[in-house]
């Protein structure tokens, strides 16, 4: 999506002109995210899953929960790993092959937002200390692209984790042994919500769509938790923000995030 065409240039001019009048190309207000629709348990073979549409961006996330070896220095903690991948069917310019810097950044930012919020209490995911722990893997795949993959993947992963049920293992004969027919809740402590904002000219807009994404000068993704605290942040793009803008973005992210958190809670209750 890095290709810049004459059409992009014209679109940018139009987007900027509209922003000067306080309007956006799709009629939203500046701090209004697109409609989020969340379908949980879309993949029954996964331990938890969600199919999320953020406008026309669509992401499927599946959670797999399985015994794993702990990291050598954290034998008293389970694993949480979140990935993201762009499928070639999501956009004509996406190719197969190893992920480029954009996709690596995407996966790491989505992972960081959830990890740093301590949404999953990994200290409760230990089967036998230093020997065997439970690993929670949330894998996002982007199936349709219309900008702002950061938030779409983050909501999909969060919704999928909220819908997850974990199998149970006991430590028997030096090996983790599955307890048939038993399911336990995944230890959830908070619901992190990321809000991505783009800066176009001197305007800051929430949840940029594909055209706005291609036109932006800089972006910032801020994740807040259920207490309204900020737990992760990533600035990107070729321009900078002033100190006042950074503070303003923090406030917007907490306010907009609270509304989206309600949607995630609804989806969790609806899925049960």
Partner 1 sequence: MGGREATMVLMDENGKRCDGRTVDEPRRIMIKAGGLKNADGSSYIEFGDNKILVGVFGPRDVHPKHMSDTDTGILRVRYHMEPFSVGERKNPAPSRREIEISKVIKEALEPAVMLEKFPRTAVDVFIEVLQADGGTRCAALTAASVALADAGIPMRDMVAAIAAGKVADTVILDVNNEEDQAGQADMPIGYMPNLEKITLLQLDGVLTPEEYKKCVQVGVDGCKLVYELQKKALNDKYFGNKGD
Residues making contact with partner 1 (CB under 8 A): 71, 73-74, 77, 101-102, 104-105, 107-108, 112, 115-118, 218, 220, 225, 228-243, 246-247, 250-251, 254
35: helix, strand or coil: coil
Of the two residues 150 and 241, which places its CB atom closer to partner 1 in the complex?
A: 241
Of the two residues 188 and 246, which places its CB atom closer to partner 1 in the complex?
A: 246
Smallest distance from partner 1 to CB 106, Å = 10
Written as one string, the DSSP assignment of 214-239 is HH-SEEEEEEE-TTS-EEEEEEEESS
Say how far apart CA 256 and CA 272 lie, in whole Å. Answer: 25
Smallest distance from partner 1 to CB 222, Å = 8
Beta bridge partners of 62: 49, 139
Smallest distance from partner 1 to CB 254, Å = 6
Of the two residues 17 and 102, which places its CB atom closer to partner 1 in the complex?
A: 102
151: helix, strand or coil: helix
Smallest distance from partner 1 to CB 12, Å = 14
Of the two residues 118 and 165, which places its CB atom closer to partner 1 in the complex?
A: 118
Residue 121 has phi, psi (to 5 degrees) of -80, 90
């Amino acid at each position: 999506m890095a290709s810049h065409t004459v059409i992009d240039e014209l679109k940018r001019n139009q987007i900027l002109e509209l922003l000067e009048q306080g309007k956006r190309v799709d009629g939203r207000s500046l701090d209004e995210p697109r409609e989020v629709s969340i379908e949980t348990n879309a993949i029954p073979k996964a331990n938890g899953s969600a199919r999320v549409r953020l406008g026309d961006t669509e992401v499927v996330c599946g959670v797999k929960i399985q015994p794993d070896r702990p990291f050598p220095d954290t034998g008293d903690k389970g694993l949480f790993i979140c990935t993201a991948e762009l499928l070639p069917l999501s956009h004509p310019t996406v190719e197969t092959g190893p992920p480029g810097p954009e996709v690596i950044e995407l996966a790491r930012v989505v992972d960081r937002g959830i990890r740093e919020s301590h949404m999953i209490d990994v200290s409760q995911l230990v089967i036998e200390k230093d020997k065997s722990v439970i690993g929670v893997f949330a894998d996002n795949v982007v199936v349709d692209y219309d900008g702002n993959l950061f938030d779409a993947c983050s909501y999909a992963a969060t919704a999928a984790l909220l819908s997850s049920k974990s199998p149970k293992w006991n430590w028997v004969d030096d090996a983790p042994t599955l307890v048939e027919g038993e399911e336990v809740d995944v230890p959830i402590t908070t619901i992190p919500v990321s809000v991505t904002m783009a800066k176009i000219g001197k305007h800051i807009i929430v949840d940029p769509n594909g055209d706005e994404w291609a036109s932006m000068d800089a972006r910032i993704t801020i994740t807040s938790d259920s207490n309204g605290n900020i737990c992760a942040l990533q600035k990107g793009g070729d321009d900078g923000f002033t100190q006042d803008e950074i503070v303003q973005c923090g406030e917007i992210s907490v306010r907009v995030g609270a509304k989206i958190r309600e949607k995630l809670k609804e989806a969790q209750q609806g899925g049960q």
